């Protein structure tokens, strides 16, 4: 009988096992490759068409800044195409266009659709309860303002989702043909403003004309209006207001706080994945800081340039601003009596402002005191 070599048995079994191992290993390696390199998605980029209310200038820059943030964070999944003023519809038609899906989105201010509801102006161009735009946005985000706005959209049957950003400094009283030292000089003047500010200035005895920004300077040049405000020194200088007036009054309560609204067609918004909805929302919040840092520097620089062009710059007398507050009281009383929702929003705003501004007024030092100490 032939004797078996032990080494033959030992080596024979591993050959079979090795084949099984290699086969299994190949499958395992394939799985590892698949896990390490997932299938590439070729999903089409979602493109939203957003029209801005601005034909140029710093506000169009601001709209572009928001869009750039969205596009940067969303990558290839979402892109916003920004369209200039009147590209698809007129500014007064923008909200309806977004509601109907003619536009996917819009960048403007609530005062531009004030005719739909007087309460709209409370979300950006409302009364001053001792607060600035920063605190009004605090009310929107943490004081129930967003919920009230959504309730308003529902009551109007509007198919939109909106976010707010960019706390604007108080708007100037504006441009006049002479220095205004008392409210009696304003009586009967044809004056351009928008939103609830129009009602306030009517109470002040003015005749109000609501015009788009680009039409203000020509209207004052032709004599259609006697005085006007838009928003800030940079925009005013871009419009050429220094060419039709040399008397510029800063500080006012007619529009002492305002911010932008970015609004989206609700159906388009709801169709987006949750992470892209979050991008649209949080890009809006991020733009808050960028706007304030960017715009206040530009406004300050352009105020210096306006002075260099022969413009006399004044601070509106406190006596006029006190009369504005009295006018606001009358407007709020009248509007609240007509509209329970208007009254509801005002009540919410007052409650927030009373609490928050109590703390801030007690805690904030007098910054003017420090400014005068160093700069005179």
Identify the CATH number of the domain in which residue 122 sits. Answer: 3.40.190.170
Exposed (0-12), middle (13-18) or buried (19+): which is 210, by Cβ within 10 Å? middle
Query: Do 77 and 125 share a domain, yes or no?
Result: yes
CA distance 364 to 35: 56
* More reliable by pLDDT, 206 or 116: 206
- Of the listed ranges 24-33, 116-125, 140-149, 179-188, the one predicted with least confidence: 24-33
Exposed (0-12), middle (13-18) or buried (19+): which is 298, by Cβ within 10 Å? middle
Query: Do 143 and 261 share a domain, yes or no?
Result: yes
Q: What angle do CA 113, 114, 116 make, to 5 degrees?
A: 75
Q: Which of 244, 267, 296 is the last residue of a domain?
A: 296
Which residues pair with residue 52 across a beta bridge?
A: 107
Residue 11 resides in a domain: no
What average pLDDT does range 356-368 have in this prediction? 97
- Of the listed ranges 3-17, 138-152, 174-188, 195-209, the one predicted with least confidence: 3-17
Structure confidence at residue 28 (pLDDT) = 41
Query: Do 102 and 247 share a domain, yes or no?
Result: no
Residue 230 resides in a domain: yes
Residue 371 resides in a domain: no
- Of the listed ranges 169-178, 212-221, 226-235, 248-257, the one predicted with least confidence: 212-221
Task: Give the Å distances, CA to CA, from 32 to 17, 22, 24, 289.
Answer: 22, 15, 12, 45
Query: Do 197 and 56 share a domain, yes or no?
Result: no
Query: Do 185 and 108 share a domain, yes or no?
Result: no
pLDDT > 90? residue 294: yes
Query: Do 109 and 218 share a domain, yes or no?
Result: no
| Number of structural domains in the chain | 2
Residue 4 resides in a domain: no
- Of the listed ranges 23-32, 99-108, 133-142, 230-239, the one predicted with least confidence: 23-32
Q: How confident is the model at residue 57 (pLDDT cuts 50, 70, 90)?
A: very high
User: Do the bridges between strand 46-52 and strand 160-168 make them parallel or antiparallel, or are there none, so unpaired?
Assistant: unpaired
Residue 17 resides in a domain: no
Residue 277 resides in a domain: yes
Query: Do 77 and 145 share a domain, yes or no?
Result: yes
pLDDT > 50? residue 179: yes
What average pLDDT does range 68-94 have in this prediction? 95
pLDDT > 60? residue 205: yes
Query: Do 287 and 164 share a domain, yes or no?
Result: yes
Query: Do 192 and 339 share a domain, yes or no?
Result: yes
Q: Which of 296, 319, 348 is the last residue of a domain?
A: 296
Classify the phi-psi angles of 209: left when phi > 0, otherwise alpha if psi is within -120 to 50, otherwise beta. beta
Q: How confident is the model at residue 181 (pLDDT cuts 50, 70, 90)?
A: very high
Q: Which of 266, 296, 326 is the last residue of a domain?
A: 296
Q: What is the pTM of this model?
A: 0.85
What average pLDDT does range 224-251 have in this prediction? 96
Q: How large a percentage of the chain has pLDDT more than 70?
A: 89
Query: Do 336 and 280 share a domain, yes or no?
Result: no
Q: How confident is the model at residue 52 (pLDDT cuts 50, 70, 90)?
A: very high
Q: How large a percentage of the chain has pLDDT more than 90?
A: 83
pLDDT > 50? residue 319: yes
Q: What's the CATH code of the domain at 225?
A: 3.40.190.10
- The average confidence (pLDDT) of the chain is 90
What average pLDDT does range 192-197 have in this prediction? 91
What average pLDDT does range 226-252 have in this prediction? 97
Structure confidence at residue 111 (pLDDT) = 87
Residue 348 resides in a domain: yes
pLDDT > 70? residue 43: no
Query: Do 95 and 212 share a domain, yes or no?
Result: no
Domain range spanning residue 117?
Answer: 46-170+257-296
Residue 27 resides in a domain: no
Query: Do 142 and 249 share a domain, yes or no?
Result: no
């Amino acid at each position: 009988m032939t004797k078996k070599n032990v080494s033959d048995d030992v080596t024979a079994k591993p050959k079979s096992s090795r084949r099984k191992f290699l086969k299994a290993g190949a499958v395992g390696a394939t799985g590892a490759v698949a896990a390490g390199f997932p299938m590439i998605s070729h999903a089409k980029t979602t493109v939203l068409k957003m029209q801005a209310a601005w034909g140029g200038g710093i506000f169009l820059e601001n709209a572009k800044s928001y869009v750039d943030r969205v596009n940067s964070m969303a990558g290839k999944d979402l892109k916003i195409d920004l369209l200039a003023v009147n590209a698809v519809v007129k500014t007064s038609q923008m909200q309806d266009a977004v509601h109907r899906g003619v536009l996917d989105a819009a960048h403007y201010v609530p005062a531009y659709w004030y005719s739909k509801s007087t309460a709209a102006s409370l979300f950006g161009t409302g009364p001053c309860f001792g607060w600035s735009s920063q605190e009004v946005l605090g009310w929107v985000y943490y004081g129930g303002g967003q919920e009230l706005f959504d309730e308003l959209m529902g009551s109007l049957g509007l198919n939109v989702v909106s976010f707010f950003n960019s706390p604007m400094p108080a708007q100037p009283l504006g441009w006049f043909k002479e220095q205004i030292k008392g409210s009696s000089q304003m009586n009967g003047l044809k004056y351009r403003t928008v939103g609830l500010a129009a009602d306030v200035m009517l109470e002040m005895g003015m005749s109000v004309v609501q015009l788009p920004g680009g039409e203000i300077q020509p209207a004052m040049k032709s004599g259609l209006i006697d005085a006007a405000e838009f928003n800030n020194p940079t925009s005013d200088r871009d419009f050429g207001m220094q060419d039709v007036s040399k008397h510029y009054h800063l500080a006012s309560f007619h529009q002492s706080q305002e911010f932008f609204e970015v609004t989206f067609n609700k159906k388009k918004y709801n169709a987006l994945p949750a992470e892209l909805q979050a991008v649209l929302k949080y890009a809006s919040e991020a733009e808050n800081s960028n706007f304030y840092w960017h715009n206040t520097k530009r406004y300050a620089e352009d105020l210096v340039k306006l002075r260099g062009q022969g413009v006399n710059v004044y601070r509106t007398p406190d006596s006029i601003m006190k009369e504005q507050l009295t006018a606001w009281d009358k407007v709020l009383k009248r509007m609240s009596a007509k509209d329970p929702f208007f009254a509801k929003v005002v009540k919410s705003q007052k409650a927030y402002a009373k609490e928050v501004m109590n703390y801030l007024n007690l805690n904030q030092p007098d910054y003017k005191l420090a400014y005068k100490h160093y700069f005179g």
